[in-house]
Chain A
């Protein structure tokens, strides 16, 4: 069975600081990886996804993530956060053959202080 670990539960940063949120998954085969974000009062929405090709993927609002197969990791990064990035971030994995049986991590709450 696939599983996802997000090690940081709550992160507090000042504006302009750099962000890296960790995500590790456990699954031996090919996976599809996602980062979703939930802004206060809004729906969960896709930030970025990886399913093949360049392991460095770029998403909306200046976010990027790097897939490192040997480390089973898919960490989310942003060089300079803004107050509007305050949200909860979820890493997720979906394995082939699973259709839409997506496994989510427990989420990381990011608070950006102006």
Chain B
């Protein structure tokens, strides 16, 4: 069974640009979550989608948005990039998004904003 796939693996953008990251969950998983990982801050929750609906959102500005498609694939968009958005963006999937389910993580997309 293929794992969680994130593309692209690396991205370099300049301030003010926008970026779209993609995540394909494990086959059969319907919940997709996104996290921002930075040194010293650990993982910070961005949002979670289940059946194309955003169920939870973290404390990030409106420049961060996402969506989920009917095949459970998800995209995350960051508009008007800032230097502080440089981070590893992780996607995680789980079967039904229940609170005691484990998360399966992808390798992440390393975003550098210059």
> Chain A residues in contact with chain B, CB under 8 A?
32, 34, 36, 43-46, 49, 51, 90, 94-107
Contacts and interface: CB of A to CB of B under 8 A. Distances in A.
B40 A98 contact: no
Interface residues of B, number: 30
A100 B31 contact: yes
B90 A44 contact: yes
Contacts of A43: 3-4, 104-107
A96 B98 CA distance: 9
Contacts, number: 70
Interface stretch (B10-18, B41-49, B60-68, B70-78): B41-49
Interface string B85-99: 000001010100111
A94 B100 CA distance: 8
Given A43-B105, A45-B105, A100 B94 contact: yes
Interface of B: 3-4, 31, 33, 35, 40-45, 48, 50, 55-56, 58, 90, 92, 94, 97-107
In the complex, the 8 A-B pairs of residues with the closest C-beta atoms, listed nearest first? A106-B42, A104-B43, A51-B100, A101-B56, A44-B105, A46-B102, A100-B97, A32-B100
Contacts of B97: 99-100
30 contacts: A43-B104, A43-B105, A43-B107, A44-B105, A49-B102, A51-B99, A94-B100, A97-B99, A98-B56, A99-B31, A99-B48, A99-B50, A99-B98, A100-B31, A100-B33, A100-B92, A100-B94, A100-B97, A100-B98, A100-B101, A101-B33, A101-B45, A102-B103, A104-B42, A104-B45, A105-B42, A106-B40, A106-B41, A106-B42, A107-B42
Pick from A32, A94, A101, A107 the residue with the most CB of B within 10 Å.
A101
Contacts of A97: 99
Contacts of B107: 43
Given A100-B48, A102-B33, A94 B99 contact: yes
A43 B88 CA distance: 12
Nearest to B42: A106
A10 to B, nearest CB: 11
